[in-house]
Amino acid sequence: MHLDHTHHGAPAVGADARRPDGTRRALRVGLGGPVGSGKTATVAALCRALRDELSLAVVTNDIYTREDAEFLLREAVLPPERISAVETGACPHTAIRDDISANLEAVEDLEDEVGPLDLILVESGGDNLTATFSKGLVDAQVFVIDVAGGDDIPRKGGPGVTTADLLVVNKTDLAPYVGSDLARMAADAKAQRGELPVVLQSLRAGDGVADVAAWVRGRLAEWTA
């Protein structure tokens, strides 16, 4: 089922903001980061926050299962036809950066089947701190780390932390229990990222995903301008 796209760098499909029929395609936002940091939980919260104002869909990537998609279906964050699972069969890194054909096919099929869409969220089955998305697959990427993973992750850097369009430090509610210093995480992230934005959030708290949702709205406003 692999289309024969050649990519590495910026392929034609991702760079093109128009669909073959001339309509504007959806903004594609990738979410990467280590296993367990809260990517699927963030996707679920974003769907709940945005689904009444936007037409949106989700692509998940798992290595051998459809677990993330099944979680989103169970939680009923979107109608089932708006959730698509890619089984990468290998390092998810490859599916979002090197051989992006299965993901491109998934986003294009979603637009054909339930479109027109404003937004497609693509979750990587993250494995580590270096899993970044091809610019041919997504227009913007969010990197999700969490407080329980250790407060030295922002300082250690890596391409996700330093270059993602938005860095999310999730699970701030756990900081007191794991001895993580949130102020230090924020300062280290700022030092690594300069002007690029950072959000500290807890999906257990009332305001939850609000800052990330606001960032997505901002990107979408730029995209449609």
Ligand X SMILES: Nc1nc2c(ncn2[C@@H]2O[C@H](COP(=O)(O)OP(=O)(O)O)[C@@H](O)[C@H]2O)c(=O)[nH]1
* H/E segment holding residue 19: none
Q: Is 154 in the site for ligand X (CB under 6 A)?
A: no
The answer on whether 136 is annotated among ligand-binding residues is no
Which member of 38, 92, 154, 160 binds ligand X (CB under 6 A)? 38
**Helix 39-50 to helix 210-224 angle, to the nearest 10 degrees?**
70
Which member of 203, 211, 217, 219 binds ligand X (CB under 6 A)? 203
- Binding segment for Mg ion among 14-22, 32-40, 49-57, 113-121 (CB under 5 A)? 32-40
Per the listing, tokens 């708290």 go with: 205
Per the listing, tokens 């036809």 go with: 81
CB of 2 to Mg ion, least distance (A): 23
Count of chain residues binding Mg ion (CB under 5 A): 3
Which member of 7, 25, 30, 40 binds ligand X (CB under 6 A)? 40
Hey, which residues between 40 and 59 contact Mg ion (CB under 5 A)? Answer: 40
Asked whether the beta carbons of 49 and 209 are under 8 A apart, the reply is yes
Q: Is 101 in the site for Mg ion (CB under 5 A)?
A: no
Asked whether the beta carbons of 61 and 92 are under 8 A apart, the reply is yes
Taking residue 113's Cβ as centre, other Cβ atoms within 10 Å add up to 12
- Round to whole Å and give the CA distance between 211 and 166: 11
Which stretches of the chain bind Mg ion, using CB under 5 A?
39-40, 68
Which stretches of the chain bind ligand X, using CB under 6 A?
33, 35-41, 170-171, 173-174, 202-204
